[in-house]
Chain A
C-alpha cells in the first residue's frame, strides 16, 4: 500500500502529549515518527538511554508512552534493551510470553556516538533482534549544549565555545552510520524529517521489521542548542539534506543506496546561516571557516556517492 501521511497520522500515537520536551525539538518527532511504523496490532518495549528524551517523557509518576518502557542509565541503552530482547527469547521459548514484541531503543548522540558506543557495538555484533535509534542533535543538550563527537566542526558549544583563540569545535563530526554499517548488520540508515515523513517512515519500518540488529540515525535538531526559532525546524532539516550536510541513505545487507539525491546541491551556508551556533562563521575574516566546512561536506559526499554506485 502506498504511503499516506494522512492515514499514518490517524494511528494512535505511542508517545502521547503531555511530555515535557521543548517546542521545536526533534526528539519527540523522531520517536513518534519511528513508532508510527509499528503495525497497529504489534507491541513494543521502548528502551531509552539517559537523555532529554528520557527525563522529559517519563517523570514519575507519569509516562508519555503507551508501550512498556525501560530506562536504566546513560551508557547502556543498547545492552539494557538487548537484555529485554534476551528475556523475550527465553520466555517465548518457555511458553511464558505468547505475544509478539518489537524492541526499540532511543538514545541521543551523547549516549550513542560517545558514552554508549561500546554497548551499542556489542549489541549489534551479538545480533539481538532490535532497533537502535539515535536521535542526533549534535551535542549534550540535556546537560547544556556541551560538544560531543557528533558536534560538527565550528559549532559553538559550551565546551567548545567560540572565542578570540577558538573557532568553535575544532574536530569534524564522527561518521557513526558508517561505523554501524561496518558491523555488517542487516540494516543501517540515515534519515531526518522531510516533506511528508515518507523517508523516515519507510526506514523505520524496514529497521523494525528486518530480523536482527538494525540502526537508524535521525538528525533531530534542537532549538536551544542550534539556536533557531521552533517554526524553522522543517526548513533546517530540509537544508541539511539539500546541502548534503546530512545525506539520506541506507545500507541494506551491505548494499549502499542513496534514498534522496538533491537536484542541485546547495552551498553549505544555506544550512549554517539558519543557526546561531554557526553565526560566527559569517563574520568578516571568517570566510575560511565556511570554505573549509564546504570542502569537508564535498569530500564526504563524494565518498558516499562512490559507495552508493
Chain B
C-alpha cells in the first residue's frame, strides 16, 4: 500500500534518496537545496542508509566527488542550487562526456547579480547545453517521482540527470504526497551494474583522456546520439513507473488542449497556477489550454510542436533570461520546433518570475487575453515580452 504523507519537496527528494540508498553522496549546503543533505545525513546518523556521505568543501568538489565515485562504479547522487550549480559548471560537461549516470537534485534558484535566494530557472537553464538530461516538476509529488525515475533513466542512457524543482515554492512548501514503499523503490531502481569501472580489478579502466581533434568530435556526436536515444528510455521508465504507481508521466502534460484555441507552455510550479486560470476561464466559456513541459533535455521537439499546433496562438513562459535580445531559452526552442510545420500558431514569449517574483492567476488571464488579441488581429506584435515587471516602461 502506498504511504500517504505531508512533505516538503526537499524532504520528498531526501526520502527518495533514502529509499534508493545510493553508494555515495557528495554534499555541500546551498539555499534552498540545503535541507536535502541535511535530512540525508540524519538518515545516515540513524542507520537508515549506509551511503558513504562526502561533505565536500564546495560544489566543485561535490561534482568532482560524484564523478570520481561514478567512474569507480558507484551509484552517486548530489543536490544543489543556483551558484552551486554554476560552480559545478566545467564538471557538468566532464560528467556528461564521461557518460556517467549521476542523479542530481536541482532546487532552482536565481543566479547571483544581485544575490537572490528565490526561484527562477536561470541556474539549470544556463546548464542546458552541458549534456545533462533535465526533468522538471510542478509539485512535490512530481519531484519525488521524477527522482526515482531519474536514477533509472540516467543509468540506462549513461547520461547524468538533473531532477529540478522550484526553490521554496515546492522545496519548502509542505503538501500531500503519496510515497512508494521502500522495497518497491529498491526493486524499481535495482542495482547499478556498470560495464566498465575503475575498481574492476580484472579490467582496469582509464577515463578522462586528452581528446585530440581526430577523436573529440566523435565523442560529442556520441553524446548527442545518447541524448536522442534517451527519448524512448524516458517513456519506457515512465511506463514502468505507471505500472507500479498508477501515476502517468510523459515529456509534457497537455491540460485541456483538445479544443483549445490559445495555449501557454510553462515549466515547473507555475503550471499549477496556470491550470487554475485555465479552469476559471473555461468556466466563462473561453477555450484555453496549457502545456506543462516536464522534460527539457532532451527537448521533445516533434511531439511538443504537434501539441502546440492544436492552437492558433501560444505563449511560451520563460523563468530565465538569456539576454539574447530575442527571448528566453524555452521560447527559442519552442518557436524553432514549429518552423517546419504547416498551420503553425503564433508564438510569443513572456519572461516572468525572476528572482522569485510572484505570478498569479490574474497574470495568466492577461496572457490569455493577449493571445486572443493576437489571434483575432492576426498580428503577434512584439514577441519578446515581460510579465510582472513593476516598471511599466519595460513590459
The answer to whether B199 touches A72, judged by C-beta atoms less than 8 angstroms apart, is no
The 8 Å CB contact of A88, one of B54, B72, B212, is B72
Within 8 A of A (CB), among B46-86: 50-52, 54-58, 60-61, 64-74, 76
Stretch at the interface among B5-13, B201-209, B327-335, B375-383: B201-209
A195 at the interface (CB under 8 A from B): no
| A interface secondary structure, majority | mixed
The answer to whether A71 touches B207, judged by C-beta atoms less than 8 angstroms apart, is yes
The answer to whether A86 touches B198, judged by C-beta atoms less than 8 angstroms apart, is no
B394 at the interface (CB under 8 A from A): no
The answer to whether B199 touches A45, judged by C-beta atoms less than 8 angstroms apart, is yes
The 8 Å CB contact of B209, one of A63, A81, A96, is A63
Most A-side CB within 10 Å, residue of B24, B54, B71, B206? B206
The answer to whether A83 touches B26, judged by C-beta atoms less than 8 angstroms apart, is yes
Q: B68 — which chain A residues lie within 8 A by C-beta? A: 47, 70, 72, 79-87
Residues of A within 8 A of B (CB): 43, 45, 47-48, 54-55, 58-61, 63, 65-73, 75-76, 79-91, 93-94, 96-99, 101, 118-119, 121-122, 125-126
Q: B55 — which chain A residues lie within 8 A by C-beta? A: 126
Q: A80-B65, A82-B54, A122-B61 are in contact. Are A90 and B24 (CB under 8 A)?
A: yes
Q: A81 — which chain B residues lie within 8 A by C-beta? A: 68
The answer to whether B206 touches A83, judged by C-beta atoms less than 8 angstroms apart, is no
Within 8 A of A (CB), among B245-277: none
The answer to whether B199 touches A69, judged by C-beta atoms less than 8 angstroms apart, is no
B171-209 vs A, Cβ < 8 Å mask (1 yes, 0 no):
000000000000000000000000000111100111111
The answer to whether B209 touches A87, judged by C-beta atoms less than 8 angstroms apart, is no
The answer to whether B71 touches A70, judged by C-beta atoms less than 8 angstroms apart, is yes
Q: A58-B209, A70-B207, A83-B26 are in contact. Are A45 and B72 (CB under 8 A)?
A: yes
Write 10 A-B pairs (CB below 8 A) sorted by A numbering: A69-B208, A71-B207, A81-B68, A83-B71, A86-B69, A87-B73, A89-B52, A90-B52, A99-B199, A121-B57
B94 at the interface (CB under 8 A from A): yes
The answer to whether B72 touches A84, judged by C-beta atoms less than 8 angstroms apart, is yes
The answer to whether A86 touches B54, judged by C-beta atoms less than 8 angstroms apart, is yes
A97 to nearest B CB, angstroms?
5
Q: A75 — which chain B residues lie within 8 A by C-beta? A: 60
The answer to whether A83 touches B64, judged by C-beta atoms less than 8 angstroms apart, is yes
The answer to whether B94 touches A73, judged by C-beta atoms less than 8 angstroms apart, is yes
Q: B71 — which chain A residues lie within 8 A by C-beta? A: 70, 83-84
B315 to nearest A CB, angstroms?
40
Count of CB-CB pairs between chains A and B under 8 Å: 166
B285 at the interface (CB under 8 A from A): no
Most A-side CB within 10 Å, residue of B23, B58, B76, B211? B23
Q: B61 — which chain A residues lie within 8 A by C-beta? A: 76, 79, 82, 118-119, 122
B210 at the interface (CB under 8 A from A): yes
B357 to nearest A CB, angstroms?
34
The answer to whether A122 touches B57, judged by C-beta atoms less than 8 angstroms apart, is yes
Q: B204 — which chain A residues lie within 8 A by C-beta? A: 65-69
Q: A81-B68, A90-B52 are in contact. Are A119 and B212 (CB under 8 A)?
A: no
The 8 Å CB contact of A87, one of B94, B199, B201, is B199
The 8 Å CB contact of B91, one of A58, A72, A91, is A72
The answer to whether B212 touches A90, judged by C-beta atoms less than 8 angstroms apart, is no
B70-110 vs A, Cβ < 8 Å mask (1 yes, 0 no):
11111010000000000000110010001000000000000
B323 at the interface (CB under 8 A from A): no
The answer to whether B211 touches A83, judged by C-beta atoms less than 8 angstroms apart, is no
The answer to whether B94 touches A72, judged by C-beta atoms less than 8 angstroms apart, is yes
The answer to whether B56 touches A79, judged by C-beta atoms less than 8 angstroms apart, is yes
The answer to whether B90 touches A126, judged by C-beta atoms less than 8 angstroms apart, is no
Q: A55 — which chain B residues lie within 8 A by C-beta? A: 210
B339 at the interface (CB under 8 A from A): no
The answer to whether A87 touches B23, judged by C-beta atoms less than 8 angstroms apart, is yes
Q: B65 — which chain A residues lie within 8 A by C-beta? A: 79-80, 82-83, 86
Knowing that A59-B210, A68-B205, A91-B199 touch, tell me 8 more A-B residue pairs with CB under 8 angstroms: A68-B204, A69-B205, A70-B207, A80-B64, A83-B72, A83-B76, A90-B23, A122-B56
The answer to whether A60 touches B215, judged by C-beta atoms less than 8 angstroms apart, is yes
A264 to nearest B CB, angstroms?
44
Give Cα distance in the complex from A63 to B208, angstroms. 10
Closest to B50 in A: A93
A132 to nearest B CB, angstroms?
13
Give Cα distance in the complex from A71 to B199, angstroms. 15
The answer to whether A63 touches B206, judged by C-beta atoms less than 8 angstroms apart, is yes
B279 to nearest A CB, angstroms?
48
Give Cα distance in the complex from A119 to B56, angstroms. 8
Give Cα distance in the complex from A96 to B192, angstroms. 11
Q: A91 — which chain B residues lie within 8 A by C-beta? A: 23, 72-74, 199
The answer to whether B60 touches A83, judged by C-beta atoms less than 8 angstroms apart, is no
Give Cα distance in the complex from A65 to B57, angstroms. 30
Closest to A94 in B: B23
Q: A70-B208, A89-B52, A91-B72 are in contact. Are A83 and B24 (CB under 8 A)?
A: yes
Q: A87 — which chain B residues lie within 8 A by C-beta? A: 23-24, 52, 68-70, 72-74, 76, 198-199
Give Cα distance in the complex from A54 to B208, angstroms. 9
Closest to A48 in B: B208
Closest to A47 in B: B68
The 8 Å CB contact of B212, one of A59, A71, A94, is A59
Q: B50 — which chain A residues lie within 8 A by C-beta? A: 93-94
Closest to A81 in B: B68
Give Cα distance in the complex from A48 to B57, angstroms. 19
Q: B23 — which chain A residues lie within 8 A by C-beta? A: 87, 90-91, 94
Q: A45-B198, A76-B60 are in contact. Are A58 and B73 (CB under 8 A)?
A: no
Q: B90 — which chain A residues lie within 8 A by C-beta? A: 73
Closest 10 CB pairs of A and B: A83-B68, A122-B57, A87-B72, A71-B208, A87-B74, A83-B65, A79-B64, A90-B23, A60-B209, A76-B64
Give Cα distance in the complex from A97 to B202, angstroms. 11
Q: A58-B210, A87-B23, A91-B74 are in contact. Are A73 and B64 (CB under 8 A)?
A: yes
Give Cα distance in the complex from A266 to B209, angstroms. 43
